[in-house]
Amino acid sequence: PDDVVAPVGTAPRAPRDAGDASGSQPGVVVEPTLTHELSKELQLYFDRVTATVRGGGVGPEAPVLRAALESLQTDNGIHQLVPYFVRFAQEEVATSLKNLPRLTAVIAAVRALVSNPHVHVELYLHQLMPSVVTCLVAKKLGGEPSDLDDHCLLRERAAETMALVCAKFGEQYPTIQPRITRTLVKALLDQTKPLATRYGAVVGLAALGPRVTRLLILPHLRQVLETLEPMLAEGEEESKTDSKTDAAKSEEKARRRRRDARRVHDALKRAVGACLHAALAVPSAEANAASEPERRAARKSKNAASAASGSVGPRSSAPGAGSVAGWKIGKAPGTLRVDVAGAETEIAIGDAVLSDTSEDPKAVAAKVAAAAALLGDCVVPYAAVPEAAGAFI
């Protein structure tokens, strides 16, 4: 309307008439297109950084890429370039799924931008996160045979970047992590998805922490393992029945499936191992750390009393840095025996235990221990005490 005054600092808006060549309806207000002008320095900076990222930091360009990533992570004068970098990441991921070095550099650039405290990348998360998730659960990454091993590293880097985004902006945008986890759980449980996609789903969920693993992976662990076990065991029977001309191809396909299934299985072991560490070792270590001042004061007073009486008692050795209250896990057919700090319980290994959502520490410990028993191996890298190395019997 004619009596509406435009705010100070804005350009007046003029309605178009019905006879306008554009064909707009009478009274329709058309917003002018805003041009975002960048200085020549920013344009040169953007062109140089994007060219370096496209190169993937291969060979002599590796130091240049490191310098560019460090600048993206710390520079406080690039906030105007954030939407351009976001669009660049979208385009490169969409068109370069066969170029692993470039995708790895793009994910590293995204992580650097997210880590920069001087830019407001949270305004563009809805455009940025689909690209990160694509690098996590894409059906195929890389085009060369040598890329079959490197794609796992790219998926792990994407998982770390996704976890950083959720940790940094999860409180401000509480729906971002649930939306991502729904996508990852769906990819994990879909048996039509390739093993590479399911590997990305496992490492993505595990990167979000032990609680996410416990709530979203463990209830489906038996189902996932049932699909992996035939792939881990296949190969010998098929190679015997195939003709000689197809035997080599069949054996190679079976070998790749076994390798990919083993990777998924190992990723599950790492995730469950982190849960086991968080559920059993960390509370015990925290309890020891909390009581250490009292024990130190008791030893000091005892030594002082011994010195005053002139008698020297036996010196008690302080516990080692990695020692905590002992816990052991034993497995029998259909039964799990868990000994946490002297409290021993027997649990029937079944879906009921894995589906338990209780936050009670004993229930959590039993659930995670049952998951570890299902995997059939002891998670030695996360063992808190020497006894855990031979925990599964």
- Residues β-bridged to residue 344: 339
Do the beta carbons of residue 155 and residue 200 sit within 8 Å? yes
- 151/224 Cα distance (integer angstroms): 21
Do the beta carbons of residue 264 and residue 197 sit within 8 Å? no
Q: What is the pTM of this model?
A: 0.72
pLDDT averaged over every residue in the chain: 76
Looking at residue 272, what is its pLDDT? 86
- The closest alpha carbon to 209, from 269, 275, 253, 268, belongs to 275
In which residue ranges of the chain is pLDDT below 70?
1-36, 145-149, 235-245, 281-292, 307-358, 362, 365-366, 369, 373, 376-393
Looking at residue 362, what is its pLDDT? 67
Looking at residue 36, what is its pLDDT? 65
Segment 251-300, tens digit of pLDDT: 888 888 888 999 999 999 889 888 877 777 666 555 666 666 777 777 77
Looking at residue 18, what is its pLDDT? 45
Joined tokens for residue 173: 């945008």
- 260/245 Cα distance (integer angstroms): 24
- The closest alpha carbon to 20, from 28, 9, 12, belongs to 28
Q: Say which DSSP state 215 is in.
A: I
- 157/105 Cα distance (integer angstroms): 10
- 167/169 Cα distance (integer angstroms): 6
Joined tokens for residue 63: 């130091």
Q: Are strands 343-348 and 327-332 parallel, antiparallel or unpaired?
A: unpaired
Do the beta carbons of residue 274 and residue 383 sit within 8 Å? no
- The closest alpha carbon to 14, from 106, 23, 26, belongs to 26
Strand order in the sheet with 335-340: 327-332, 335-340, 343-348
Looking at residue 9, what is its pLDDT? 41
- The closest alpha carbon to 221, from 272, 262, 270, belongs to 272
Backbone dihedral region for residue 194 (phi beyond 0: left; psi -120 to 50: alpha; all else: beta): beta
- Residues β-bridged to residue 328: 339
Q: Cα 66–71–77 angle (5° rounding)?
A: 165
- Which residues are within 8 A (CB) of 152 and not within 5 positions of it... i.e. 6 or more apart? 199, 263
Looking at residue 334, what is its pLDDT? 59
- 224/200 Cα distance (integer angstroms): 14
Joined tokens for residue 241: 């029945």
Looking at residue 352, what is its pLDDT? 57
